[in-house]
Amino acid sequence: MIPELGNFALILALLLSVVLGTLPIVGAARNIPAWTALARPVAQGMALFVVVAWGCLVYSFMVSDFSVLNVATNSNSQLPAQYRFAATWGSHEGSMLLWVFMLAFWTLAVSLKSRHLPDDMVARVLGVMGLVSFGFLLFMLLTSNPFDRLFPVPADGRDLNPLLQDPGMVMHPPMLYMGYVGFSVAFAFAIGALLGGRLDATWARWSRPWTTLAWSFLTIGIMIGSWWAYYTLGWGGWWFWDPVENASFMPWLVGTALLHSLAVTEKRGAFKNWTVLLAISAFSLSLVGTFLVRSGVLTSVHSFATDPKRGVFILAFLLVVIGGSLALYAVRAPKVGIGSRFDLVSRESLLLANNVLLLAATGSVLLGTLYPLFLDALNLGKISVGPPYFDAVFVPLMTPLVFLMGVGPLARWKQAAIPDLWRLLRWAAAISVVTALLVPFLTGQWKPGVSFGLLLAFWIVAATFVGIRERVRNVRSGLWSQLARQPRSYWGMVLAHLGIAVFIVGVTMVKGYETERDVKMNVGDTVSVGGYTFRFDGVTRQRGPNYQAQRGAFTVTKDGVYVENLYPEKRQYNAGGMPMTNAAIDSGFFGDIYVSLGDPVDATAWVVRVYSKPFVTWLWGGFTLMALGGFLALMDRRYRTGAQRDLALPRGAAAAR
């Protein structure tokens, strides 16, 4: 009964999305107020039914209704409750429903938080989101219905893939999808502006907070995914350049470019065409990512289904959405003015360079991800592109970007002078070079790569502090009141840029100084890694809620002093399948020690992997700072007072500004 209710709610949501995708847009074009007024209530109705459908699937999982195929394949009666909940999005069908759920959430948010926007704009934006929802709802109902029944009803379910039975599974997909799907708002605003022919600073100002919010969630989602891979896959890697990781990373790169170019469009009215193109691209890459994951054109640990029917549907949908919006762009963009002029050296030009570098990075990730596909399609053989390619391409592209990150915030709009910038930044440059050369000696082993990485990080920190000092320098009143007076969006930027610096320190130190040992150990044997000594105390059997584990015990000492015990596990889930490795990790501010249990060699001896990973936690710390920077920028006062000001102005005046 409940699954049928969910199915019915999906159908109703589909019908409402048809209404939402047509009448308000036509109403806005033909100036029919009754039709444009439909946008908000219909959007809210659609969101309501999607939430009901999602709730029905959650319910089916929570009560273990194995007559639902999706539940039978991805859950089990022994599965703990939090993973039964997370199993809702553990399958292809369920994750599509999560996608639509997030889209409904964003549509609802726009419908509630858009009171200060002109009605025709709201109608267009919600209409575009309705069209996107329509595509996904139709896709689910036609090819991937999460409520399909199974008969005869099995006694128990097959269980959720053990790899997914992890707290990361509860957090990672929702956060990632929040970000992914959140770019649909910026996209809808861009399409709405193109349709209405009103691509101005006001449009950029409306899109900006939505983009920042989506970007922050995407940042968190990627961070959790990386952390999860690090502690579950059992060999200590944190980024694999897997096609699906790349699929989430590309929208992030373009989204980062979009954040910066929206700032230029809002403040200076420049780059309008460019910004619109970025807004379309960010969401398009989210869609392409969905296609890559769902269609199985590329092999990846994340792929669920390889069904060409689904692939053809998503590809047709991509053609309509992306092809349609790029065609609209080609037709309508020329009507938009060029914007104000700027000099060769100015904040505009530096931000443009930032955009070009970020897009070049996106292009190289896209090329690396799709290269195997291109070759295969041209019958040139099957190959895979690995981390060496990405490492080789990424460092040269990121180095100038980091350099610009230091200079950009100090440059004036419209016109900046190189001598001025040099005068401001020479001390920052000198300090970062000297510290970068000296600090690696503290570790006892100087390496050129480490020194270079630290140079980039220290440069960002030093230049950021110069920037802060510049902002408060010419002021009489107290330093603290001046610092407090800086807008939160400024502090958001500072935090995000420092986050990059922290991240770079993490990457540099891990790559430079990580050590690992792969050894065969008998009970009582010891192994030393990174200054720690590990004694193997044997393996015992343990029972989990839905698995049997073999638990290894290790005593860790440093210079003969007891530090702690670590217990890595090897789990065999009752529902069958591959054994799982659960590494034991001691995370600290200055790095992790990481033990994972390999395979038994004979009755008493085991293969054991031990790693020391200095500063690895800084990777995730850096990403967290970036996301916090995004959230801080959103709390900026002008988003609240600005909204009220728009409300006070008559419609024409708001548009003219």
Residues contributing to the site for another protein (CB under 8 A) = 72-73, 158, 273, 277, 280-281, 284, 288, 291, 295-299, 306, 308, 311-312, 315, 318-319, 322-323, 326-327, 329-331, 333-334, 370, 372-374, 376-377, 382, 575-577
Shortest reach from residue 141's CB to another protein, in Å: 21
Q: Tell me: cis bond preceding 545? Omega within 30 of 0 counts.
A: no
CB-nearer residue toward another protein: 156 or 525: 156
Exposed / middle / buried, residue 121 (Cβ in 10 Å: 0-12, 13-18, 19+): buried
d(CA 599, CA 612): 20
CB-nearer residue toward another protein: 29 or 326: 326
Q: Find out whether 13 and 129 touch, Cβ atoms under 8 Å.
A: no
Q: Find out whether 487 and 638 touch, Cβ atoms under 8 Å.
A: yes
Shortest reach from residue 570's CB to another protein, in Å: 15
Q: Find out whether 499 and 623 touch, Cβ atoms under 8 Å.
A: yes
Residue/partner pairs of 140-143 with CB below 8 Å, 24 or more apart: 140/10, 140/93, 140/96, 140/97, 140/100, 141/10, 141/11, 141/14, 142/313, 143/307, 143/309, 143/310, 143/313
CB-nearer residue toward another protein: 376 or 516: 376
Shortest reach from residue 13's CB to another protein, in Å: 28
Shortest reach from residue 288's CB to another protein, in Å: 8
Q: Find out whether 597 and 570 touch, Cβ atoms under 8 Å.
A: yes
CB-nearer residue toward another protein: 281 or 624: 281
Shortest reach from residue 607's CB to another protein, in Å: 17
Residues with Cβ within 8 Å of residue 100, at least 6 apart in sequence = 13, 50, 133, 136, 137, 140
What are φ and ψ of residue 67, in 5° steps?
-75, -10
CB-nearer residue toward another protein: 334 or 448: 334
Q: Which two tokens stand for residue 186?
A: 């910026």
CA atoms within 13 A on the CB side of 233: 13
**DSSP reduced 3-state for 403:** helix
Shortest reach from residue 474's CB to another protein, in Å: 43
d(CA 519, CA 531): 17
CB-nearer residue toward another protein: 17 or 281: 281
Q: Which residues pair with 609 in a beta bridge?
A: 518, 596
Beta-carbon neighbour count of residue 502 at 10 Å?
A: 22
CB-nearer residue toward another protein: 507 or 580: 580
**DSSP reduced 3-state for 557:** strand
CB-nearer residue toward another protein: 376 or 586: 376
Shortest reach from residue 357's CB to another protein, in Å: 19
CB-nearer residue toward another protein: 287 or 463: 287
Alpha carbon distances (Å) from 156 to 107, 372, 637? 37, 40, 54
Beta-carbon neighbour count of residue 175 at 10 Å?
A: 20
Q: Are strands 606-614 and 515-521 parallel, antiparallel or unpaired?
A: antiparallel
CB-nearer residue toward another protein: 296 or 538: 296
CB-nearer residue toward another protein: 149 or 267: 149
Alpha helices in 554-636 (DSSP H): 617-634
Residues with Cβ within 8 Å of residue 553, at least 6 apart in sequence = 536, 537, 538, 539, 540, 565, 566, 567
The backbone region for 159, taken as left when phi is positive above 0, alpha when psi lies in -120 to 50, beta otherwise, is left
Shortest reach from residue 209's CB to another protein, in Å: 26
Shortest reach from residue 262's CB to another protein, in Å: 18
CB-nearer residue toward another protein: 17 or 91: 91
Shortest reach from residue 377's CB to another protein, in Å: 4
Shortest reach from residue 337's CB to another protein, in Å: 13
Shortest reach from residue 380's CB to another protein, in Å: 12
Alpha carbon distances (Å) from 436 to 69, 401, 444, 496? 57, 18, 14, 21
Shortest reach from residue 467's CB to another protein, in Å: 34
CB-nearer residue toward another protein: 321 or 595: 321
